[in-house]
Chains A and B, each alone.
Chain A
Amino acid sequence: MATYKLYYFNARGRAEVLRLLFAAAGQRFEDSRFEQNTWPSFKSQMPLSQVPVLEVNGTTLVQSQTIARFLARQFLLGGRDGFELAKVEAVVDTINDFVSILSPIRREQDEKKKKEQLQKFLNDDLPKHLQNLEILARLYGNGGQYFIGNNLTLADLTFYDAGETLLQLDPNCLNNHPWLKQNRLLVASQPRIAEYLRNRPKTAF
């Protein structure tokens, strides 16, 4: 029995997909959350001075995407074989392609500039990324509601999480994407995930 300790801020951010993995698998873990004012004293203990960090049986693993992939494999949420895993990862990478465009915009301090960049993202960038995800779902999803092979995988959990952020910014952004909407509903209705979503801390981001 492995022991897992997750370190992150008291927020969803880059750790939420990891918490969703633990929830989907029904796996216990220590969910260690810093407030902004206690972070400086923990920062030097993290190998790359960043979080999230996952401690597995005492060894520290860094990098949110790596941790996600590792847990997905541990919990059999990574597809049924090596090639399915690669498809899961291709979908995750494609989601992260637009998340990484969005991150600096969300951090923009100048409110006017931020609003402009956000509009541009929603109008010019996001539609083609959502289209790409639908292409991959058609290519890999065997005609079902999950991204890969008719089973819940990390790809669906990653899109659920990223989708939450998108819908916060524009509640209508998935209106022309029924498959993506349905996929998120399916994830949210999995019993363990529904339970987790009901009980998790409510945070600003």
Chain B
Amino acid sequence: MPSYKLYYFNGRGRAEVARLIFAAAGEKYEDVRYERDQWPAHKAEMPLGQMPVLEVDGVKLPQSLSIARFLAKQFHLAGKDNFEQAQVDAVVDTIYDCLTKYVPIRFETDEAKKEELTKKFLAEELPKHLQNFETLGKLYGKGGHFFVGKQLTWADLLFFDVGAIILQVDSNAFNNHAWLKQNRAEVEKQPKIAEYLKNRPQTQF
């Protein structure tokens, strides 16, 4: 039994998908959270001076998606075989493409500019990304509610997490996307995930 230690800020951010994977699998780990003022003292302990980092039996692994993919494979939430894993990864990469477009807007400090960029993102970018998610759900989902192969995988968990961010920006974002809505509902009602969502710290980001 390996021992797992996850290091991140006290927030969801780039670590939440890993926490959702631990929760869905019912696996224990040490959930280390640094407040902003504690971080500078620990920065040099992380290989690339960044978080999240996963420590597995004392060896540190950086990069949020690599961490999530590793845990998903450990806990059989990554797809049944190599090709299904690739389908899961394809969905993950496509979700990440959308997140990458949104992140710089989220961190824009000029409020007026941020509002403009957000409007533009919602009108011009987001629709095609949501369309792409549905395309892949249809291509790999075998007619079910999950993105790949009729089973919960970390692609669904990532979409659940990123979906929450999208809904914070526009609560109506999924109104014309019934399949995406249903997918998130399926994730939310998994008993271990429902329990985790009930009990997790409520944080700003």
Contacts and interface: CB of A to CB of B under 8 A. Distances in A.
A59 interface: yes
Contacts of B59: 83
A65 B47 CA distance: 23
A94 B63 contact: yes
Contact of A139 (B60, B70, B82): B60
Looking at B82, B85, B136, which has the most chain A CB atoms within 10 Å of its CB? Answer: B82
Contacts of A62: 90, 93-94, 136
Q: How large is the interface on A (under 10, 10 to 19, 20 to 34, 35 or more residues)?
A: 20 to 34
Given A47-B136, A90-B61, A63 B85 contact: no
B65 A100 contact: no
Nearest to B74: A82
Question: By DSSP majority rule, is chain B's interface helix, strand, loop, or mixed?
Answer: helix
A178 B16 CA distance: 38
Contacts of A69: 86, 89
A74 B82 CA distance: 7
A82 B66 CA distance: 11
Given A61-B86, A63-B94, A66-B86, A94 B62 contact: yes
Interface in A110-156: 132, 135-136, 139
Contacts of B83: 56, 59, 61, 70
Given A86-B66, A136-B62, 20 more contacts: A48-B136, A56-B83, A61-B83, A61-B86, A62-B94, A63-B89, A63-B93, A65-B89, A70-B86, A74-B82, A82-B73, A83-B59, A89-B66, A92-B66, A93-B62, A93-B63, A94-B63, A100-B100, A135-B48, A136-B48
10 nearest A-B residue pairs (beta carbon) = A86-B70, A70-B86, A66-B89, A63-B93, A89-B66, A93-B63, A90-B63, A66-B90, A90-B66, A63-B90
Interface of A: 47-48, 56, 59-63, 65-67, 69-70, 73-74, 82-83, 85-87, 89-90, 92-94, 100, 132, 135-136, 139
